[in-house]
Amino acid sequence: MSRPHHITVCLVGFEKHKASPDPGDPSGFWLRAKVEDASPFVAAFNASPTVFHEFRIEQRVGKETRSSTLSAQIVKIEEGLETRVLIRPHPSYGEL
């Protein structure tokens, strides 16, 4: 049995404010963040809701950490006990 993959996502420049994917909602690419870590996501959305932002994605598999970046637009934010952030990758994502 393989070990679970630990994935964290942050806005580039706000590495201390991380979120994790929320696989419980198939309607898009949702992130979950602690309220204290959500401020960069909320500020970016409020300042420029149509802009694509750079996100750093870190995936830990055992002792190895893989990093990549993703250009995505913050589409929706739901605030509560945890903050949920819906992001949509740039249309060029996945093109060869």
Q: Give dist(CA 75, CA 86) in Å, integer.
A: 5
Q: Give dist(CA 78, CA 22) in Å, integer.
A: 13
Is the model's pLDDT at 93 over the cut of 50? yes
Q: 32-44, pLDDT tens digit by residue? A: 999 999 999 999 9
Could you tell me the pTM of the whole model?
0.83
Amino acid at 27: S
Element (H, E) at 33: strand 29-34
Q: 40-91, pLDDT tens digit by residue? A: 999 999 999 899 999 999 998 888 899 999 999 999 999 999 999 999 998 8
pLDDT at residue 95, as a whole number: 64
Tell me which residue of 73, 84, 29, 21 sits closest to 51, measured CA to CA. Answer: 73
What token pair was written down for 21? 């994917």
Domain regions of the chain by residue span? 6-88
